[in-house]
Structure 1
Amino acid sequence: MSKSDSSKSGNDFISHIKGMGFAGVYSKYGTILIFIGIFIIASLIDPVFLTGANLVNVLKQLVVVSLLAFGVTFVIILGHIDVSLGSVVALTGTMAASIMHYTQNIFVAVLGGLALGIVVGFANGYIITKFNIPAFIMTLAMTTIARGTILLYTGGRTISGLGNFKVIGQDSIGPVPISVIILLLFMAISWVLLNKTKFGRQIYAVGGNERAAQASGINTKKVVLLAFIFNGILTAVAGIVFMSRINSGQPGGAVSYEFDAITAVVVGGTSLSGGTGTVVGTLLGAMIIGVINNLLNLMNVSSYWQQIVKLSLGLLFYWVSRTCLRCTLMPRRTRIIILF
């Protein structure tokens, strides 16, 4: 390619970006630009951030939130929500730890945790679709049911003596943590389901317009049920990784993890009203949350302030995304009024 051709291509790209305007650029590239910006800011604020050990720690820390976010992405694209994630992590992870304590068989423990996740996901999806109960109400109830059940089962006590259960959350294969390999595996599964299967196409169709999807012959209730079951599976995987990482069963653990997961999904560009969203965007959103968590920890910021900061950022990103979506649907002359 000649210099003139390269210059022309560059000018065409710049013209294209200018033509998109702020709303268009943010809608298409906003998540990756935010991640790059926060990554640079974190590296400037604290030099420790860029050390190899710390970056590996960031990867390990974002695994649980990412797994939760992948599962709830399916639910949110459908226009539903799940606020029981943290409690179900405690339920499934602690139960897996309990099975490990009594059997010392990691395979049986993992299967037990996954089976419980499927049961919870099925219960949520079935009751929501069968009785037309709003997902927020049902999963809010499940928050109390799941947390109460595991607290009753354990008496509020920590479960220890887990043998080699910690290998899932603490060990590595070469330089790569096993938990990160699990994350990449379920990211690939989630991406394939959403982008390469009939089920994925139906999720977008139902989330975009449920009545139209139903009129076209899609069994919308079945799609919602399957999405909640998949969400339950990923929540159980997150619970197993979480308890394995701390090498104990903590019935009071994973408090407010649902907020990190939902914030990651929103930051990643998934609309809370349904119909749009991507797995890659969710991963970027989770990485943004992970970097923010790590930076705040390095700065010794109180965990209470961390929740305030993350939820505030989630609200900000949601507002900007909604505003940009409205702008892209309006005549160019009126966009500046909406933005400001």
Structure 2
Amino acid sequence: MSEISQSVAATHHAKPIARADRTGQWLQMGALLIIIAVLAVFALLSPIFLTLGNLGNVLQQTIVTGTLAFGLTLVLIGGGSHSVTGGIDLSVAANLGLCGAVFATQISQGSSIGSAVLLALFTGAALGLLNAFAVVWLRILPLLATLTTMNIAIGLEMVLTQNSTVPVSGPLFDLLLGNGPLNLPWLAWAFAALALFFGLLVHFTRFGLRLQAVGSHPIAARAQGLSVAFYLSASYVLCGVAAGIASLASVSLLSGSSPGANDNLLIVIASVLLGVIFSRRLIPTIGGTLISALFLSLIANGFQLINVSSYWINGVEGVLILLVVSLTALLRQRQQRRKVRV
């Protein structure tokens, strides 16, 4: 009788899981159909939209926001999905601006490329460590902690650059902006390499799997001997390093450091939240973030090609964030109710 009871219980428990999987599959299919439809419309309205040259340009332009989104994905994975107490880093775009200012300033003052790169990466990691200290040890809500460090980063950037552009030039920057294999820009290839690196780190290494365990079930992870504080702190530091890497690409694309890097924050958050749709468990993944970042970049590119004002882009991003957050919240509530019934 005990075996029969266990079998029946397992069957009932499998039903809500199967329903959740089916819901996730329908959601993913719907999202993919929407993406295909939007791209088809742009392709019809602009004959150069799907050309290799234009797609390479989109990849090149996505490296900045995409790399920031990869870093933010790590924070959301490690901190959990709770809308208030879960992981978030509002300072990631401002960190980009600060790192870019440090890098460009060092180059303009005659420092070597190597030392300037290391200092930019160190700056990003330092701000990430400050976030980790505020969130993990001081136990300040991530929203408030990273909002504070965002303002610190913006202030330091303005002091360093006097709120003006710091131009840079050189053969290295010309090389990065040039074309590589398949006539695609080297920055496009760099973005592909970064996506592969973060994907392997999060989904195929012990660190990434443990980070997911810490974010999904922190109590169980702590019971298994995992240091929740360490993995959560590491996610913020790595997010800061990602901002440092993105700043190198940004300086190359803009030929210097320019104010206003924090304007990238909305599209970065939209990329991560929209990417949740492509996970059956409705959690952030590197693959989902990559698809979303490219989709948003293609929307911006499509608007430019058909001469639609870029001001519409922020509105589209805001609507997407609202829809995704509302939809995922409803689906999670349905999943929780089904678990309670079982």
TM-score interval w.r.t. the shorter chain? 0.7 to 0.9
For residues 283 and 107 of structure 1, the distance between their equivalents in structure 2, rounded to whole angstroms, comes to: 28
* Residue number in structure 2 paired with 1:25: 25
User: Does structure 1 residue 249 correspond to structure 2 residue 252?
Assistant: no
Cα offset for 1:211? Answer: 2.1
User: Does structure 1 residue 285 correspond to structure 2 residue 275?
Assistant: no
* Residue number in structure 1 paired with 2:120: 113
Shift in alpha-carbon separation, 1:200–1:84, aligned structure 2, 3 A: same
* Residue number in structure 2 paired with 1:6: none
For residues 270 and 75 of structure 1, the distance between their equivalents in structure 2, rounded to whole angstroms, comes to: 18
* Residue number in structure 1 paired with 2:180: 173
Aligned length: 312
User: Please, which runs of 5 or more residues in structure 2 have no aligned partner?
Assistant: 1-18, 81-86
For residues 334 and 210 of structure 2, the distance between their equivalents in structure 1, rounded to whole angstroms, comes to: 27
Shift in alpha-carbon separation, 1:279–1:161, aligned structure 2, 3 A: closer
User: Please, which runs of 5 or more residues in structure 1 have no aligned partner?
Assistant: 1-18, 332-340
For residues 244 and 49 of structure 2, the distance between their equivalents in structure 1, rounded to whole angstroms, comes to: 30
* Residue number in structure 2 paired with 1:294: 301
Shift in alpha-carbon separation, 1:240–1:198, aligned structure 2, 3 A: same
CA contact (8 A) 2:125 2:240 kept: yes
Q: 1:203 aligns with which of 211, 215, 220?
A: 211
For residues 84 and 193 of structure 1, the distance between their equivalents in structure 2, rounded to whole angstroms, comes to: 22
CA contact (8 A) 1:31 1:267 kept: no
| Partner deviation per Cα, 1:164-199 (whole Å, 9 max, x = no partner) | 352465123232322122212222221122122222
User: Does structure 1 residue 57 correspond to structure 2 residue 48?
Assistant: no
For residues 146 and 39 of structure 1, the distance between their equivalents in structure 2, rounded to whole angstroms, comes to: 36
* Residue number in structure 2 paired with 1:212: 220
Cα offset for 1:161? Answer: 4.0
* Residue number in structure 2 paired with 1:192: 200
Alignment of 1:159-170 (within 5 A): 159-167=166-174, 169-170=176-177
SS at match of 1:172: coil
Matched residue type, 2:317: K
Cα offset for 1:51? Answer: 3.0
CA contact (8 A) 2:165 2:257 kept: yes
Alignment of 1:119-134 (within 5 A): 119-134=126-141
For residues 46 and 253 of structure 1, the distance between their equivalents in structure 2, rounded to whole angstroms, comes to: 30
Cα offset for 1:118? Answer: 1.1
User: Does structure 1 residue 153 correspond to structure 2 residue 185?
Assistant: no
CA contact (8 A) 2:60 2:191 kept: no
CA contact (8 A) 1:170 1:179 kept: yes
User: Does structure 1 residue 39 correspond to structure 2 residue 39?
Assistant: yes
Matched residue type, 1:176: L
For residues 317 and 86 of structure 1, the distance between their equivalents in structure 2, rounded to whole angstroms, comes to: 21
Cα offset for 1:216? Answer: 2.2
Once the two structures are aligned, what percentage of the paired residues are identical? Answer: 28
Q: Bigger shift: 34-43 or 260-269?
A: 34-43
For residues 270 and 216 of structure 1, the distance between their equivalents in structure 2, rounded to whole angstroms, comes to: 30
User: Does structure 1 residue 141 correspond to structure 2 residue 148?
Assistant: yes
Cα offset for 1:28? Answer: 4.5
For residues 288 and 212 of structure 2, the distance between their equivalents in structure 1, rounded to whole angstroms, comes to: 15
Cα offset for 1:242? Answer: 0.7
* Residue number in structure 2 paired with 1:266: 273
Shift in alpha-carbon separation, 1:222–1:132, aligned structure 2, 3 A: same
SS at match of 2:283: coil
Matched residue type, 2:60: K
TM-score relative to the length of structure 2: 0.83
Cα offset for 1:82? Answer: 0.8
Q: Bigger shift: 82-91 or 27-36?
A: 27-36
Cα offset for 1:140? Answer: 0.6
Shift in alpha-carbon separation, 1:24–1:88, aligned structure 2, 3 A: closer
Shift in alpha-carbon separation, 1:39–1:325, aligned structure 2, 3 A: farther
Shift in alpha-carbon separation, 1:46–1:160, aligned structure 2, 3 A: same
Matched residue type, 1:102: Q
CA contact (8 A) 1:206 1:275 kept: no
Q: 2:110 aligns with which of 74, 78, 103?
A: 103
